[in-house]
Amino acid sequence: MSIWTKEVRAKFPGAEDGTPEYVEPLLSVNLFSELLTAAGIFLLVRLVVRRASGATNSGLLHRLAPGERGWICGLLAAGVAWLEPSLILDAHAWPQWDCWILPFYLFAALAALTRRWFWCGCLLATGGMLKGQLLFVAPFFLFWPLWQKRWARAGRVLAGFIATAAPLLGVRPVVSLADESTQLRERTAHGELQAAIPAKLSVAQHQPGGAD
């Protein structure tokens, strides 16, 4: 995200004025993130309702057929998420990228509930690289199996997190080094140009007719 923002500002100095065409790629990514959020909530709610519908005392759920409870509740939850005002405001009215955190959190929870602990760690690491706020809740997914004394599951979460974060963290120094090299070449070229201009002016003044 930082690389994309820098490229936009470098090529379009007026991008700060909020011109729509400059933020169109961000709006597209935000829309895709909202779709993933709605899908994640649908799958998560459907799974939880199917597991707990037999033990719940809700009269509303018992009015629905057992095979329909999960997907109806999932669709309602997905609709609420899709039309959630603060999400729309953040993603489209005043474009930010805070909504990117939601799909990774939801699918990490879904992976944990379905005992895919390694993939849970992978999702947490990827989401944390995009939005650091996810790292505030990431320890919960480690404490979850630890409280149940499921040591192997906790190890899988850590393994998935490390296996995903290590390559992603290794890319950043390479990108930073390439960026610094480009900036150094630009400064060198600019300095050479500034040094050449006085020399050319001096030569021109010493040539016959240069004083004119």
Question: Residue 211's pLDDT band (boundaries 50, 70, 90)?
Answer: very low
108: helix, coil or strand? helix
Q: What percentage of the chain reaches a pLDDT higher than 70? A: 61
Question: Residue 93's pLDDT band (boundaries 50, 70, 90)?
Answer: confident
What is the tens place of the pLDDT at every residue in 107-163? 999 999 999 999 999 999 999 888 888 889 889 999 999 998 899 999 999 999 999
What is the tens place of the pLDDT at every residue in 8-41? 666 666 655 455 566 677 778 888 888 999 999 9
The Cα diameter of the chain in Å comes to: 102
pTM for the predicted model, two decimal places: 0.67
Q: In whole angstroms, what is the distance from residue 131 CA to residue 102 CA? A: 10
Question: What is the rounded average pLDDT of the residues 89-99?
Answer: 76
Using N-to-C axis directions, what is the helix angle for 117-130 and 138-147, rounded to 10°?
A: 160
Instruction: Catalogue the long-range contacts made by 159-163 (C-beta closer than 8 Å, 24 or more residues apart).
Output: 159/118, 159/121, 160/117, 160/118, 160/119, 160/120, 160/121, 160/122, 160/123, 160/124, 160/125, 161/121, 161/122, 161/124, 161/125, 162/121, 162/125, 163/121, 163/122, 163/125
Question: What is the rounded average pLDDT of the residues 177-189?
Answer: 52
64: helix, coil or strand? coil
